Structure formats: structure tokens, C-alpha cells
Structure 1
Amino acid sequence: MTTGIAVPLQHRIDEIAGLAREAHEAGVRSAWFGQTFGYDAASLAAIVGREVPGLQVGTAAIPVFGRHPLLVSSQAQTAQAATGGRFHLGLALGTRQLTEAGFGIPYERPIRRLREFLTALRPLVETGSADFHGELLTAATPLPAVVPGALPPVPLLVAAMAPQALRVSGALADGVLPYLAGPRALAEHIVPAVTAAARAAGRPAPRIVAFVPGVVTADPAAVREAAAEALAFYERFPSYRRVIELSGATRAADLAVIGDEETVAAAVRRYREAGATEVVFAATDLAGEDSRRRTWRLLGELAAA
């Protein structure tokens, strides 16, 4: 079972690299970096991946609004070269609230933008060239822009959970990065939709990288209270509210995996049975360093099993 962590970003870069190294030494296979208005996720993944040999690194996830496929491709190819082929590019639609407030651009036709972005980006990461002219985007390279060195193409993943985004991701990407989607939502909605779209497009079975807030702790009640406060942010957005409801929950914190090693391991297995190919734990810093280390050690043991 492949396991990973979402690395906390409220630290200096050398400290972030140290945390990723600690997780890798515990047996965790991958480290993922969110895109904020602070650190650049692709650059951070490149730095950490170079500092921690053998660790898979990825972004979860870079919004396509306010960005261009040519520039994102350059970032991705740089990170892929820096890590020797261990970089995974996670993209997202983002939200209307953050897009319009932050970038001052309208959040219009998101599915069309995602489709065009992926259509332009795929040849860029595979061949270094593109000649795409869509309704919303143009991406053309007068000269090839391949980074020297024989490396595999950067995997393209999308933080997709709604039906239209899942169909586009299945047809054009290599997998999806659902967050706060419990086993029920995965098994009944996300996995079937993205798998059917991939099959119809003649693509391999997609990766299902399930992001799960989770902590191993001796005090589940206190940690669940902290999780309720930390995760309430996501309840403001319709896309997350929808997938929380599809998971049979009423709050984001209801989907947090919190308890002792046996409880958490059983929950991880349920995600796997629901179709997750990889399980990535987020919010592992909710209960302090001891709980974080216990969580990472368990994830490492599950990865080795």
C-alpha cells in the first residue's frame, strides 16, 4: 500500500525539508505540497525532492486559473529534472471565492478551462512542444523546450471530485487527488466516474490518490475537537460540502481518521478497498510531535506491508 503525507507549510524551507526527511525515514513514500499565496508548491517540491533522495514529491494542488500551461510545464519539468523523475504535478480548479478575490479574474467556464489546460499541457510534458489554440487558451512553442536528460513524463493529476471534472480528468489526466472524500464517496461516485472516463478515452486505469486528514493519538476527543476547528474552512465551499455529504458525513471533521494505530490502520484499509491506489494523510500535526511521529511511523509500516 502506497502512503504519503501532506507536509505542513508553516515552517522555513529547511525545516520543511527536515520534516519530509523524517517522514521518509519512517517509511512514508511520498510528500505533497499545497499551493498557497506563500510558497510556490512546484518549487518547494523540487527543493525537498532533491534534499531527500528516493522520496516521491508532488503538488496538491496548483489551480489552473491565473496560470498558463507553458509556465506550469516549465515548473514541472524543472522539478522533474531536479528530483530525477520523482515529481507529480497535481492541478486543481480552485474556487470562485479565492480566484476572484485573489486574482481579480472571473471564475468562468471552469470545466472548459480545465479541459483546455490539460490538452495543452500533456504534449508539453511529454515532448516539450505544443500547438494548441482553444477557446480560452493558446499554448504554442515555436521551438521545442525539452529539458535535457532521459526522464519519464511528469504525471498529471487533478483534484477532481465533481462529475464533469472527473470525466475530464479521466480522459486527459493520469489520476485524481480527492480530499475529504470518504470511502463511500470514493466507491460510489469518484472511482467509477473517473475510471469509466479513462476507459472510454483508451487510457490506463487512473490513480486515485485519496487525501485524508488523519492522526494517531491517545486522546481522540481532543484531537477531533481541534480537527473540527481546523477543517471548518472547507465547509465554506460547495464542492467540499457536496463530497462531505456524499461520504455520509455532515462536517469535514467527521471524515478525519483519528484514534490509535489499529483504528487508523483499519480506516486506511477501507480507503484502499473503496478504490484508492494511494492514501495521503493531511493535518498530521493536529496533536503535536509525538502523535505526528506515531502517525508517520504507522503510514510507513502500512507502506511496507
Structure 2
Amino acid sequence: MQLDLMVPGLPLRQATELARDAASAGMAGVVVTETGRTAYLTCAALALAGEPLDILTGIAVAFPRSPMVTAQVAWELAEASGGRFRLGLGSQVRAHIERRFGMPYDPPGPRMREYLLALRAAFRAFRGEEPLSFEGRYWSLRLLPAAWSPGPIAVPDPPVDLAAVNPWMLRLAGELADGVHVHPLNTEPYLRETVLPALAEGAARAGRQVADLTVICPAFVAAGDRPGQVERWWERARAQVAFYGSTPNYRFLFEQLGRPEVPERIRARQKAGDLAGMAKEVDDELLEQFCVAGDWASVADALRARYGGVASRVVSYFAGQAWLEDRRALGPWGELARALAG
């Protein structure tokens, strides 16, 4: 089991510093999210640092970009990283796609299916395996003169991973993607009752098994060996669970835990502008379902118990934030990475 750290898009000079520190600590890779800054430029800076790190977008937003644009960027990042780049894509939510990016969103599932197929067609055309010829309902890619093609690269095509929450998108990931980005709001029942069966169903459509996929699971980890450390990250996890729990699409995760009333209470607090109150709706018993906590040794055992047999890669939701606050913070995370890899 590999351990990665998660960061948002960073100022580019800061990204090169992170690459050096993460590699020195012994982390397996860096997963870059896309919020205010693009994920791809941060990935480029990480790649050019030349460190032996896997570099993943987790995720880059698909729909605002043509599949050709995404394919070209992923192709260059695969080459720059020496084949260590993984392209993680997600649909985001309707409000962001339509109101922030000004692009169409519906229907997200079929649109994403076509997007993945268009990417593969572009990769084949870049290698000269076949002319570019993709005709779909949402995208049409039919023109790629030699002067406009990036041409073959000396590393394999970048793996394409898909962010998926509901069974439909999980089945799509199992069928067409190389891996899946599980949502940070995950629990053991969700992983074993929803994620694995849906991935298996999708993989079977393509004559594959779940073992053929890279399953990437973010984890809320509250760890430390000094007074106050565990509590600090425990409370941050509580706030994040409340934030995600306010989204109606994630209600079913709470239903699986027998706590269907919690999302409604969180949303009521949110509507009242009571942000602190939102977190208070996530009690300790519930938070234990979403967050692993303890000293470093016990956290390693807990991560193995929760994600063993499910995840190929575990992504620390908080290690990147710890580094942003203190560049010396990655040492224990690197030790945890080595423990999980062993």
C-alpha cells in the first residue's frame, strides 16, 4: 500500500520545494487537487523537480476543457515526469461547471464516458497508431495534422483515473479507467458495500477484475506523538466531514451508518450561517467512521485494517496541509509511508 500526500494547486516555486521535501521524507507521490489554481501547472513544477515521486491530479476538472486539450497536457506531463504522471479526472458539480466555468454539465455520466473514450482516441493518434477519428454526441475530434500532433513519447500513455462516488460512475471507472479516486468522505461500509461491488461490475464489462485497477483512497488521519497534535487534526477532520456532509449527494453514506438525520442537521446549520455548529453535528462516534486517529504506530495498523484489500494508494488528506504550515512536518508521514509499503 502506497502513501501519498494531497495538496491544492500551489505557487510553482513552492511546488518544487514540496517535491524535494516529499521525496526526501519517503512519500510515494503527490496528489494535486484543483481549486483556485490549476492542478496541471503544479504537476509540471513537481515533474521538473526531477524527484522520484508519482504525480497525480486528484482531480482535474474535465468538462471545462476539451478532451484534446486534456490529452495534450497529460501527454506532456507524462513525458516530463518520466512516466510518473497519472491523470485523475472528475466531473465536479453542476453549479461549478455551469456557473463558474460557463460550460454544459448534463448528463454528467454519459458525458464523462465519452470524454474517456475521446482521450484514448487522442493518445492513439499521438502515437501514430491511427488517424484521429472520434465522433460522439458531446465531442467530435477529427483533425490532427502531423504539425499539430505532439507525436510519440518514450513512456507509456498516462494512466487515466476517474473520480467516482455513486455506483454509476464507479461502474464506469471499473470499465474504462485505469483507476478510481474514491471520495475523501469514505467509510469501511461504503468501501466494501458500494465501491468494490460497483467497480467489480464495471470491470467485468471489460473482462477485467478490480485487481487490475488502481484504487486511490484519501484518508482523514489525525496522528501525532505530542500533546494536542491528534486533537488538532481530529477537529479539522470533523469540520471536513461536516462540509462534505452538507452535500445532498453524500447523504447515502450516512444512511449506511444508520445516521440519516445528520446531513439534514448539518444543512440546517449551514442555512443559518452557523459554520461552527455544522461541525458540532458530527459527534465523535460518527467521526470515527471517517477518520483514523492515534499515535503513528497505531495509525499504521488502523490504515491497514481499513484500507487493506481495497486501496492501492492511500492519500493523506492532511499531510500536505501540515507541510504548508511547517516544512519540517513530513518526517513522520514518510515513516508511515515506509511502514505501509512494507
Deviation at 1:112, TM superposition (A): 0.8
1:5 and 1:70 map into 2 onto residues whose CA distance is 28
Mean CA deviation greater in 144-153 or 236-245: 236-245
Contact 2:296–2:336 (8 Å) recurs in 1? no
Deviation at 1:200, TM superposition (A): 2.1
Tell me the secondary structure at the aligned position of residue 177 of structure 1.
Answer: strand
How does 1:74-153 map onto structure 2 within 5 Å? 74-128=72-126, 130-143=132-145, 145-153=149-157
Q: Tell me the amino acid that sits aligned with residue 291 of structure 2.
A: A
Contact 1:178–1:209 (8 Å) recurs in 2? yes
Q: Tell me the amino acid that sits aligned with residue 299 of structure 1.
A: L
Residue in structure 2 matched with residue 26 of structure 1 by the alignment:
25
Deviation at 1:187, TM superposition (A): 1.5
Equivalent in 292, 296, 315 of residue 257 of structure 1: 292
1:9-51 Cα shifts (integer Å, max 9, x gaps): 4x5322232123212212111111011232x212211220220
Structure 1 residues 244 and 24 mapped into 2: Cα distance closer, same or farther (>3 Å)? farther
- Whether 1:2 and 2:7 are equivalent positions in the alignment is no
Deviation at 1:259, TM superposition (A): 2.2
Structure 1 residues 154 and 132 mapped into 2: Cα distance closer, same or farther (>3 Å)? same
2:202 and 2:218 map into 1 onto residues whose CA distance is 21
Residue in structure 1 matched with residue 337 of structure 2 by the alignment:
300
Mean CA deviation greater in 83-92 or 145-154: 145-154
Stretches of structure 2 lacking an aligned partner (at least 5 in a row): 263-281
Contact 2:13–2:45 (8 Å) recurs in 1? no
Residue in structure 2 matched with residue 191 of structure 1 by the alignment:
196
Q: Tell me the amino acid that sits aligned with residue 231 of structure 2.
A: A
- Whether 1:289 and 2:288 are equivalent positions in the alignment is no
Contact 2:221–2:318 (8 Å) recurs in 1? yes
Q: Tell me the amino acid that sits aligned with residue 139 of structure 2.
A: L
1:139 and 1:176 map into 2 onto residues whose CA distance is 25
Contact 2:12–2:41 (8 Å) recurs in 1? no
1:261 and 1:171 map into 2 onto residues whose CA distance is 37
1:151 and 1:237 map into 2 onto residues whose CA distance is 40
Deviation at 1:301, TM superposition (A): 1.8
Residue in structure 2 matched with residue 238 of structure 1 by the alignment:
248
Q: Tell me the amino acid that sits aligned with residue 86 of structure 2.
A: H
2:329 and 2:253 map into 1 onto residues whose CA distance is 26
1:274 and 1:237 map into 2 onto residues whose CA distance is 28
Equivalent in 207, 211, 216 of residue 202 of structure 1: 207
Deviation at 1:256, TM superposition (A): 2.5
Contact 2:55–2:84 (8 Å) recurs in 1? yes
Deviation at 1:290, TM superposition (A): 8.4
Contact 1:49–1:57 (8 Å) recurs in 2? yes
Percentage identity across paired residues of the two chains: 29
Deviation at 1:237, TM superposition (A): 2.3
1:103 and 1:29 map into 2 onto residues whose CA distance is 33
Tell me the secondary structure at the aligned position of residue 89 of structure 1.
Answer: strand
1:187-232 Cα shifts (integer Å, max 9, x gaps): 1211221122112212462111111122422432332223323453
Q: Tell me the amino acid that sits aligned with residue 210 of structure 1.
A: C
Contact 1:166–1:193 (8 Å) recurs in 2? yes
Contact 1:126–1:154 (8 Å) recurs in 2? no
- Whether 1:67 and 2:65 are equivalent positions in the alignment is yes
Q: Tell me the amino acid that sits aligned with residue 155 of structure 1.
A: P
1:268-293 Cα shifts (integer Å, max 9, x gaps): 10233241111111122359538942
- Taking only aligned residues, the RMSD between alpha carbons, in angstroms, comes to 2.5
Q: Tell me the amino acid that sits aligned with residue 216 of structure 1.
A: A
Deviation at 1:56, TM superposition (A): 0.6
Stretches of structure 1 lacking an aligned partner (at least 5 in a row): none
Q: Tell me the amino acid that sits aligned with residue 187 of structure 1.
A: R
Deviation at 1:295, TM superposition (A): 4.3
1:304 and 1:23 map into 2 onto residues whose CA distance is 15
Residue in structure 2 matched with residue 177 of structure 1 by the alignment:
181
Deviation at 1:66, TM superposition (A): 1.4
1:137 and 1:182 map into 2 onto residues whose CA distance is 36
Structure 1 residues 106 and 120 mapped into 2: Cα distance closer, same or farther (>3 Å)? closer
2:121 and 2:40 map into 1 onto residues whose CA distance is 19
1:232 and 1:92 map into 2 onto residues whose CA distance is 22
Aligned length: 303
Give the TM-score normalised by structure 2. 0.80
Deviation at 1:96, TM superposition (A): 1.6
Residue in structure 2 matched with residue 229 of structure 1 by the alignment:
239
Equivalent in 184, 204, 221 of residue 214 of structure 1: 221
